[in-house]
């Protein structure tokens, strides 16, 4: 630890006159902390003359005590510096620099029980993190958090990319508006989302992406969400555009049950004068604890196909009888409809397809008894996670997959009954290991059990972590759907590879879908916290292909689906379409076969939330680079300078791009593939179609 320096400014007209200030390692950002006249902690964040966050209140309210909201005194303040590099198990980069200045302030109530809290700030070049810690102390041990009063005073009516604050879902499309124009109630009427709980007109979720009138970018989220509810924000447009933390409550209205030595998650403000700077920030990962898993050799990024899209396009069913009705009959009495997707024969076809194309995994949904009445019943016992339907032969498929060198990925839909899942988890994971499964996709569709709890409350936050921790003891990788949004915990549990926790590609199959700008916003919002299982790779974008009466469609061109493998980071990437559609476009499918899922280096070449993103990534343990460029509904030309390549090296660029008159709406499947020799002196000019994208492989020669 280097010695710190602390600015101690005496302001004579304030009752409490200690102002503390630290600067980021590069000196560009500055944090000020003090107590205001009534003893409330306040902080501000600036970049030179620009206020990023104006003076804002902090505090934690607890039950049966004034808590830590006012009437506090500073008893101690320390500062320190950290500069270290650490290696990721998998990720967008092999090595990450963790460099910050820290200020830790101990506070004590001036009267009453003299309870103590400690606020720790870490200021990085890319932004600020701070959290509340509760040290061991004489008059406090167990306590209930009734509210968190953390505020972020934005000071101006920034442009904001938002989804409604909601205790139960994050599967909304994004709105782009001014802070003052947010209307979460109107947006929250989205009926294609079955389980939702919008709490206020002015409530929004994090990660919250904002752009100022000066074209600087601010992103607010949290890091290391452990044993605490997720944080939404409310906007007070009348009073300096103050955002206030709104914690997801539990079944009886409390926010969190804690004890001393616990601490809150980090509140994170990423800041940059470039949009690409927000994407490049590693503040959230750096604020998470290192891996608790010592031997990580079994954790392997991979691509997978699955018995999945055929259910979403209504070609097959999850349930055996296809009636969605248990009608008091046993499975043995049910008649298979012939449309059941997860049959031994069908899964073998997917295994063959995966083996032939070098794809490591096959996800199988609808294999287990329970799908008859899985949805909307708020029923506690639905699945036991070990009983297959009569037409799904577990040992036979185990042998078959093994003989082809393919791994079957388990599916555990809990239908929101987390209590039942916790009871079955050990036997379910044992069953998986006995039958050769190394990865599980979990799901929480529907209302949560314990009844009264929400998807994003403290109980469920702890549940998702318990699943990841338990899975790790069985050496199982996890991909959680309908979970709370990620907060960088994948550093601590690297077997928790991905979550959905946002609006995935599936919405394009059966709803109004995802507007073309959606994938240009997600990396600035949901993906700030970690990988998303977006399920890219839909080639047959028009659902009328399956049923002429259908008008639903994927709101992208075919090659934009390819570019998503680079722009939408996940160590588990699905090739989500049906094998037959890949067989219709084998030359385009080649990109999915070749693209990497684990990276050595990532370079954010160009980005603007809601408009476009271009990213280049170098394969981990390889020499090839991959580039993805995507646009919103507007056609766009883009110039990519390859000067990030090493000197003296030659590459073959294989460019998968939109065809001449391609358009997501009218001509989505027009594409062309061209090849050229390139070096670091080369420049590639791209023309992206409306809703389009380009994917490039730079093959080292």
Q: Which residues lie near ligand NOJ (CB under 6 A)?
A: 308, 365, 413, 443, 445, 481, 500, 504, 506
| CB of residue 309 to ligand NOJ, shortest distance in Å | 9
Spatial neighbors of 619 by CB under 8 A, at least 6 apart, are 596, 598, 599, 600, 625, 626
Question: Binds 577, which of Ca ion, ligand NOJ, none (CB < 5 to 8 A, cut-off by type)?
Answer: none
Nearest CB to Ca ion, comparing residues 303 and 481: 481
Nearest CB to ligand NOJ, comparing residues 409 and 566: 409
Q: Is 368:381 a contact under the CB 8 Å cutoff?
A: no
Nearest CB to Ca ion, comparing residues 319 and 500: 500
Q: Calculate helix-pair angle for 418-434, 458-473, nearest 10 degrees.
A: 10
Question: Binds 365, which of ligand NOJ, Ca ion, none (CB < 5 to 8 A, cut-off by type)?
Answer: ligand NOJ
Q: Find, among 289, 293, 297, 295, the residue nearest to 98 by Cα.
A: 289
Question: Binds 464, which of Ca ion, ligand NOJ, none (CB < 5 to 8 A, cut-off by type)?
Answer: none
Active site (annotated) includes residue 506: yes
| CB of residue 449 to ligand NOJ, shortest distance in Å | 16
| CB of residue 171 to Ca ion, shortest distance in Å | 6
Give the three-state DSSP class for 556. Answer: coil
Strand 625-631, strand 671-678: pairing: unpaired
Question: Binds 388, which of ligand NOJ, Ca ion, none (CB < 5 to 8 A, cut-off by type)?
Answer: none
| CB of residue 230 to ligand NOJ, shortest distance in Å | 18
Nearest CB to ligand NOJ, comparing residues 205 and 272: 205
Nearest CB to Ca ion, comparing residues 221 and 481: 481
With vertex at residue 43, the alpha carbon angle to CA 247 and CA 116, rounded to the nearest 5 degrees, is: 70
Helical H segments across 2-127, by residue range: none
Please identify, among the stretches 264-272, 480-488, 603-611, 686-694, the one whose residues bind Ca ion according to the rule CB under 5 A.
480-488
Secondary structure letter of residue 64 according to DSSP: T
Q: Find, among 641, 626, 599, 613, the residue nearest to 700 by Cα.
A: 626
**How many other C-beta atoms are found inside a 10 Å radius of the C-beta of residue 328?**
6
* Torsion angle of the four alpha carbons 549, 550, 551, 554, in this order, in degrees rounded to the nearest 10: -150
Question: Binds 129, which of ligand NOJ, Ca ion, none (CB < 5 to 8 A, cut-off by type)?
Answer: none
| CB of residue 188 to ligand NOJ, shortest distance in Å | 19
| CB of residue 150 to Ca ion, shortest distance in Å | 29
Question: Binds 673, which of ligand NOJ, Ca ion, none (CB < 5 to 8 A, cut-off by type)?
Answer: none
Q: Report the distance separating Cα 435 and Cα 395, nearest Å.
A: 7
Q: Find, among 155, 177, 127, the residue nearest to 242 by Cα.
A: 155
What character string, x for contact with Ca ion (CB under 5 A) and - otherwise, covers 498-537? Answer: --x-------------------------------------
Nearest CB to ligand NOJ, comparing residues 413 and 540: 413
| CB of residue 570 to ligand NOJ, shortest distance in Å | 14
Q: How far is CA 460 from the centre of its chain?
A: 16
Q: Report the distance separating Cα 677 and Cα 139, nearest Å.
A: 71
What character string, x for contact with Ca ion (CB under 5 A) and - otherwise, covers 486-505? Answer: --------------x-----
Spatial neighbors of 590 by CB under 8 A, at least 6 apart, are none
Q: What residues numbered 610-649 form the site for Ca ion, per CB under 5 A?
A: none
Please identify, among the stretches 414-422, 446-454, 473-481, 621-629, the one whose residues bind Ca ion according to the rule CB under 5 A.
473-481
| CB of residue 520 to Ca ion, shortest distance in Å | 20
Q: Is 148:59 a contact under the CB 8 Å cutoff?
A: yes
Nearest CB to ligand NOJ, comparing residues 30 and 414: 414
Q: Report the distance separating Cα 245 and Cα 69, nearest Å.
A: 13
Nearest CB to Ca ion, comparing residues 357 and 535: 535
Identify the sign of the CA torsion 133, 139, 144, 148: negative
Adjacency order of strands within the sheet including 625-631: 599-608, 612-619, 625-631, 693-700, 651-658, 671-678
Question: Binds 147, which of Ca ion, ligand NOJ, none (CB < 5 to 8 A, cut-off by type)?
Answer: none
Question: Binds 413, which of ligand NOJ, Ca ion, none (CB < 5 to 8 A, cut-off by type)?
Answer: ligand NOJ
Q: Is 426:470 a contact under the CB 8 Å cutoff?
A: yes
Question: Binds 609, which of Ca ion, ligand NOJ, none (CB < 5 to 8 A, cut-off by type)?
Answer: none
Give buried/exposed letters for 114-124 (b at 16+ CB in 10 A, else e): ebbbbbbbbbb
Binders of Ca ion: how many residues, by CB under 5 A?
A: 2
User: 532 exposed, middle or buried (CB, 10 Å; 0-12, 13-18, 19+)?
Assistant: buried
Nearest CB to ligand NOJ, comparing residues 301 and 443: 443
| CB of residue 632 to Ca ion, shortest distance in Å | 23
Q: Which one is catalytic: 506, 540, 583, 608?
A: 506
Q: Is 662:689 a contact under the CB 8 Å cutoff?
A: yes
**Chain contacts with Ca ion (rule: CB under 5 A):** 481, 500
> Which residues are catalytically annotated?
506
């Amino acid at each position: 630890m280097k010695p710190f320096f602390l600015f101690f400014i005496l302001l004579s007209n304030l009752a409490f006159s200690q102002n503390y200030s630290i600067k980021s390692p590069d000196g560009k950002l500055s944090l000020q902390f003090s107590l205001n006249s009534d003893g409330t902690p306040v902080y501000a964040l600036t970049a030179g003359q620009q206020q990023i966050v104006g003076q804002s209140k902090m505090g934690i309210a607890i039950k049966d005590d004034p808590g830590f909201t006012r009437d506090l005194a500073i008893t101690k303040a320390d500062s320190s510096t950290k500069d270290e590099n650490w290696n990721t198990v998998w990720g967008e980069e092999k090595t990450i620099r963790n460099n910050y200045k820290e200020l830790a302030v101990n506070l004590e109530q001036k009267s009453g029980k003299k309870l103590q809290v400690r606020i720790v700030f870490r200021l990085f070049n890319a932004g600020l993190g701070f959290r509340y810690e509760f040290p061991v102390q004489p008059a406090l041990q167990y306590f209930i958090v009734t509210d968190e009063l953390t505020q972020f005073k934005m000071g101006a009516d920034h442009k904001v990319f938002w989804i409604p604050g909601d205790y139960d879902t994050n599967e909304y499309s994004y709105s782009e508006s001014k802070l003052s124009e947010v209307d979460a109630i109107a947006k929250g009427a989205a009926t294609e989302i079955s389980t939702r709980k919008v709490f206020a007109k002015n409530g929004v979720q994090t990660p919250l992406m904002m752009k100022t009138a000066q074209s600087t970018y601010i992103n607010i989220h949290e890091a290391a969400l452990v044993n605490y509810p997720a944080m939404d924000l409310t906007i007070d447009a009348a009073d300096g555009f103050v955002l206030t933390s709104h914690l997801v409550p539990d079944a009886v209205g409390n926010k969190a049950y804690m004890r001393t030595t616990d601490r809150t998650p980090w509140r994170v403000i990423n800041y940059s004068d470039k949009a690409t700077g927000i994407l490049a920030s590693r503040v959230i990962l750096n604020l998470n604890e290192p891996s608790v898993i010592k031997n990580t050799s079994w954790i392997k990024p991979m691509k997978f196909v699955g018995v999945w899209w055929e259910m979403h396009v209504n070609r097959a069913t999850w349930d055996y009888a296809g009636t969605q009705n248990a009608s008091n009959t046993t499975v043995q009495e049910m008649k298979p409809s012939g449309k059941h997707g997860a049959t031994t024969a069908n899964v073998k076809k997917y295994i063959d397809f995966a083996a032939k194309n070098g794809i490591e995994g096959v996800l199988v949904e609808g294999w287990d008894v329970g799908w008859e009445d899985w949805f909307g019943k708020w029923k506690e016992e639905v699945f036991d996670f070990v009983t297959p339907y009569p037409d799904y032969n577990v040992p036979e498929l185990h042998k078959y997959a093994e003989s082809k060198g393919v791994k079957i990925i388990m599916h555990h839909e809990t239908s929101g009954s987390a209590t039942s899942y916790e009871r079955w988890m050990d036997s379910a994971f044992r069953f998986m290991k006995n039958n050769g499964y190394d990865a599980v996709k979990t799901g929480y569709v529907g209302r949560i059990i314990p009844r009264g709890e929400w998807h994003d409350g403290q109980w469920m936050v702890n549940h998702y972590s318990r699943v990841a921790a338990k899975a790790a003891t069985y050496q199982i990788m996890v991909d959680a759907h309908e979970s709370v949004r990620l907060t960088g915990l994948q550093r601590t549990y690297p077997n928790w590879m991905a979550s959905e926790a946002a609006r995935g590609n599936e919405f394009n199959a059966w709803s109004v879908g995802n507007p073309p700008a959606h994938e240009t916003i997600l990396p600035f919002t949901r993906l700030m916290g970690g990988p998303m299982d977006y399920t890219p790779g839909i080639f047959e974008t028009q659902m009328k292909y399956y049923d002429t009466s259908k008008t639903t469609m994927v709101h992208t061109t075919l090659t934009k689906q390819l570019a998503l493998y680079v722009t939408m980071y996940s160590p588990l990437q699905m090739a989500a379409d049906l094998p037959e559609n890949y067989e219709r476009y084998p030359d385009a499918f080649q990109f999915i076969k070749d693209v990497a899922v684990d990276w050595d280096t990532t370079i954010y070449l160009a980005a603007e939330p809601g408009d476009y993103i271009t990213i280049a990534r170098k394969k981990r343990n390889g020499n090839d680079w991959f580039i993805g460029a995507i646009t919103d509904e507007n056609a766009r030309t883009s110039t990519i300078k390859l000067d990030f390549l090493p000197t003296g090296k030659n590459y073959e660029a294989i460019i998968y791009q939109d065809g001449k008159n391609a358009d997501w709406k009218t001509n989505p499947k027009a594409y062309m593939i061209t090849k050229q020799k390139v070096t670091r002196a080369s420049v590639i000019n791209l023309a992206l179609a409306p809703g389009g994208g380009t994917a490039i492989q730079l093959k080292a020669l």
